[in-house]
Chains A and B, each alone.
Chain A
Amino acid sequence: MSSLLNTLGKHFPECSKGDLIPILQHVQHQEGYIPSNTIREISEYLNISCSTIYGVATFYSQFKFNPPGRHSIKICLGTACHVQGGDFILSALQMEIGITPGSTTEDGRFDLERVACLGCCAIAPVMMVDNDIHSRLSVIKLRQILSNYE
């Protein structure tokens, strides 16, 4: 039995279909993304087809299918951030690190993701790098912030 199946048995003993999303979240938490071989293992464990699991996993924006970078950037494009110029921040960010949302830089330093709202609308525009939220961003401030993450 693989190590993943082992932990699944421990954390999700009920083995019910309702555990599918929590299991995917568990895998992503451990691995940083959903490696394709884990889908097969989950399929065996829950007795649900791989295509169904893949269908569920791709439906939700939380799940990633590429290995993440050393630092994860979540750029907020909620309404308040948009009104305060979040779009400009995103294009400046893309230019700065050279990737589009959903991918990871070649050197593995950053991965970039756009999110609908981080709930910090009063201090918009914001972005989250790893677990730090940076507020009242400007194109200029962005460069300084990124230099703190190697």
Chain B
Amino acid sequence: MARLQLNDLKVSYDGKVNILENYNLDIENGKLVSILGPSGCGKTTTLRAVAGFLDTRGGKILIDDEDYSKTPINKRNFGIVFQSYALFPNMTVYENVAYGLKLRKVPVEQREKQVLDILETVEMISFKDRKPENLSGGQRQRVALARALVISPKLLLLDEPLSNLDAKLRIEMRAQIKKMQQKYKITTILITHDQEECFSISDKVAIMNNGKIEQYDTPENIYSSPNSIFVADFVGFKNLLDVTKVGNGLYRLSNGKEIKAEDVENPKKIAIRPQNIAVAQKGESLIEGHIKVRTYLGDSYQYEVDSDLGDIVVNTSDSIALNTGDTIKLNFPESEICVLTD
């Protein structure tokens, strides 16, 4: 139960180049915030700095206004779940979960009650005497989560916790994480590169690129109105087209045609998702092109269209498939266009 604020955080590996610079993030009490970004963007660095595994060179890590940036790791009381689970191989499930309480000198009876309680919640009670080597990935993940939560941490840090699980288990486990996080009302940071994973369970998402947060907002807002070209591209706006402004809410595309959209100063590009492009049956259309590649997506077809605006990706739920080489006419519905300035 705590509010986390990162104020002007500076982190560097070699003391010369800052991986993170003037890094700011504010997480309200009991919220789950995801940090999403491509590999190498600095998201794991952020988590390791908050956890204390990396020394900060400047700035503050405030938890309820108390600075933790100089507190030793083992005094921070943060729960951490690692991608590799990092369970203690010499201990049973029970001993793994009990270890944090043992170090805190919690009396034996109370310790036992707490450990069994949390093992019950993560549905691992029947495996309590097993060693980690005899558990599946999903089971290890549950133990790792229980071990991090049993110490009633001020903060829960999850470093790509679901990456090593198969697709079905991932969905199950993310529901489990959300359930636990809400039950214990713990302020949580989730590091991930999986957009679906983080959008589905996060209260807020921070999209990172090159050591900076590009956008920090609710999943809904990020999904519908990305604030930069990078974010738009990252969250699935596959079509990014150059535009010049010609009037109030009126933009000219590179093929000379004009479209209407929300009025923005100094626009650079417009973005639209493949599934939001409309296929025109007859009459005027914005784009006309030939189908280059057809992909079957299960509930729809995806076409890569060669047009005078370059390659356009469009999804249609039409049951009749068009063939490679066919001509297709496309329109961009005004309400689905996102205008970007940088």
- A and B associate in one complex: no
Report which B residues bind A (CB closer than 8 A).
none
Report which A residues bind B (CB closer than 8 A).
none
